[in-house]
Chains A and B, each alone.
Chain A
């Protein structure tokens, strides 16, 4: 159905309203009575809220800066909810707000707590403010509960904070102790190692290598000398074998013999060219015989002398000075060789010793480095922890004395004077409005949805049919009477509803009901 003009719509609505007058009044009365009773039965809700300022200065964070990373708690509202809705606080609230007067069973307590949780809303405004709002039917209890919530939350939070700083201190203390022990252990190990490896000092390897070099050089030198001495010895020995012990000036016998030899050689030579009968040869032979004779005589004399025990001075013998000298040098060289041998042996022994020491020193140095490192690291951490422990001690003391107070009530709860949420007044007003709007809306919907003609404009404008007239209902006197009575009744019903609404409101305002 096309609604063309507002005035047509208004007229149609009016006509329909009159047509459905009974239904409209019935709806009006029903809606009003229902809303009135709803308003009466609706629990009066009072709400009290308190806001708490929380500053984000957690103890462990600055203390453990760099050393440990503390987890960040982003949703403070949720944190607060966890704390407040915990059994600890809820039980105290139950006690304080007077829920425990009737000695409820644990199951009932559970139900009450659930109800309390439902009536409590916790949210954060910004980052640092937490608002706790509590709704209840009793203003006094509402106020007390909201106040208590804040108090308990702060005390529990502060307790938790103190506990936290205590825990932080304890933790750091424990760590310090542990590192102290470690440090002592490292020191001991180091000491032990040092005492076990005295030569294991820093730089001893350089010392050893210098020494090794020296020894090596020495051995080489001695070996060289030894070789020289040996060569000298051999040379001397050779020389000595060539030299007579005594140098003899040619004696008679010697002279004879050398004459003989000389002659012999001449003889030999002559025999090559001549026969034995050669005068020269015969002569030479004679000469040799003479000489041999002379020798034999000489020997006889010597032997006679020997046999008589008389020293026969051999005029031809003298001590050989060269021999003597060589002999002397040989002896010296011999000594020298022996000495060098001894020296080399000693040097080698020392070398071996030194090498072994070097090996030992190298192994020990690695261990030492490790031990030293351990010691240094432990010492650094220990010193750091010592500082931190002192900081923690200060923080802990601050918390203990509540000096570092970071939670406080920003806005305290106030006793609610007026109920919040839907109030009786709202129900009354909305009942009156709805009582009028609902039937009108339904009529409007009917006009909209029902395709049957209720406005002459549909005929003239939509279907372009000629309209003779609009004939209103002609009321017969009896009908008029009936309608009059009906309207009177309806008017009475509406007035009665108004009266009931007004009376109830007055009674409600004066707190009779």
Chain B
């Protein structure tokens, strides 16, 4: 899948070391500020902000950027992995979503057919794929309360998350949107509480939250990491709130009838498509040297 022109240009500039994305310092304050504005000033203010959002993205200041090594360690794609089939796959998914949403930002729920199906992996890397494009941002919501995983990127420490926000009327949206050291990618973790009733998803506050974060930036794609279809009834409620659903089918773990049931539960309208995840493919390395017994022996003995 071809990268967008902007993305290519950015990558090139980054590679040459000529580009520094400089953003005004208080990014967080800015986010808070803008979110408050949505709540208070109404539509007019929103439109104005949207007009200036491109600059705002450029101004977004990141905290210490995650190194490629760290990204690779966490199985997160990055633009330099050009030849990687996984990167290609996510770019393809991204392109299809953009095509489907006609260039508008949208809210996508990612759910797996079964637990451990890799919905968090897909969520994160789909977000990354959006973030590749300098003109787009991605906001990831970890709605998988029972088995959250996105917070791992933050390292140690406690962060406010979705449950905290829903429970605490005082809390501001800005408090739960976190940077992870990846450009144009924000994450709302699941929060401190593991158990929240399904009613929270149907609550007005949740709807409001989703609306506000969707409308906050026009180029922001919101991706929800939802619990597996077969394990939680909440997922269907969440699906109602979202524009599209991406169903993750893990390789060799579910039957086609299970997939069918899940797809039917989502409904044809919402189901954007299926991601067949985690196909076993050998890593890219120099097979010749590995399979050469003498080289291997040499390596074993003297490395």
Contacts and interface: CB of A to CB of B under 8 A. Distances in A.
Contacts of A451: 255-257
Given A453-B255, A468-B92, A492-B293, A459 B86 contact: no
Interface string A448-461: 00111110101100
B272 A465 contact: no
Nearest to A446: B252
Interface in B169-204: none
A473 B256 contact: no
Contacts of B296: 488, 491-492
Contacts of B275: 468-471
B69 A453 contact: no
Residue among B257, B271, B275, B282 with the highest chain A CB neighbour number at 10 A: B282
A472 B86 contact: yes
B14 interface: no
B86 A474 contact: yes
B279 interface: yes
A15 interface: yes
B85 interface: yes
Given A465-B271, A477-B72, A472 B299 contact: no
A466 B273 contact: yes
A193 B115 CA distance: 126
A475 B92 CA distance: 19
A459 B283 contact: no
Given A459-B249, A491-B290, A473 B73 contact: no
B274 A473 contact: no
B154 interface: no
A453 B246 contact: no
Contacts of A16: 252, 280
A456 B248 CA distance: 12
B55 interface: no
Contact of B283 (A450, A466, A483): A483
Contact of B285 (A458, A470, A476, A484): A484
A471 B279 contact: yes
Nearest to B69: A477
Contact of A470 (B89, B125, B282): B89
B211 interface: no
A21 to B, nearest CB: 9
Contacts of B280: 15-16, 18-19, 472-473
A28 to B, nearest CB: 14
A479 to B, nearest CB: 7
Contacts of B86: 471-474
Interface residues of A, number: 38
B287 to A, nearest CB: 8
B263 interface: yes
Contact of A15 (B253, B281, B292): B281
Contacts of B276: 453, 456, 459, 467, 469-471
A468 B253 contact: no
A487 interface: yes
Contacts of B297: 492
B75 A476 contact: yes
A207 B284 CA distance: 137
A471 B277 contact: yes
A480 B96 contact: no
A462 interface: yes
A490 B74 CA distance: 27
B299 A488 contact: yes
B259 interface: yes
Contacts of B282: 18, 483, 487
A483 B291 CA distance: 12
Contacts of A456: 276
- Contact-size category for B: 35 or more
Given A477-B69, A477-B73, A458 B256 contact: yes
A319 B159 CA distance: 215
A184 to B, nearest CB: 103
A459 B247 CA distance: 12
A108 to B, nearest CB: 51
Given A465-B274, A480-B285, A470 B299 contact: no
Contacts of B293: 491-492, 495-496
Interface string B1-36: 000000000000000000000000000000000000
B90 interface: yes
Interface string A179-215: 0000000000000000000000000000000000000
A136 B115 CA distance: 63
A478 interface: yes
A48 to B, nearest CB: 44
Contact of A453 (B93, B251, B263): B251
A221 to B, nearest CB: 140
B265 interface: no
A310 interface: no
B278 interface: yes
B89 A471 contact: yes
A368 B280 CA distance: 116
A511 interface: no
Residue among A465, A468, A480, A496 with the highest chain B CB neighbour number at 10 A: A468
Nearest to A1: B256
A295 B251 CA distance: 202
B172 to A, nearest CB: 35
B152 interface: no
A463 to B, nearest CB: 5
B122 interface: yes
Contacts of A18: 280-282
Residue among B86, B90, B96, B271 with the highest chain A CB neighbour number at 10 A: B86
Nearest to A475: B283
B96 A468 contact: yes
Contact of A484 (B252, B255, B271, B283): B283
A495 B77 CA distance: 35
Contacts of A480: 283, 285
B256 A467 contact: no
Contact of A468 (B74, B272, B290, B300): B272
B254 interface: yes
A276 to B, nearest CB: 195
Interface of A: 15-16, 18-19, 450-454, 456, 458-459, 462-463, 465-480, 483-484, 487-488, 491-492, 495-496
Given A19-B252, A476-B72, A492-B300, 10 more contacts: A456-B276, A459-B259, A459-B276, A468-B93, A471-B118, A472-B85, A472-B278, A476-B75, A484-B290, A488-B290
8 contacts: A465-B259, A466-B272, A468-B275, A470-B276, A472-B86, A473-B86, A473-B279, A492-B293
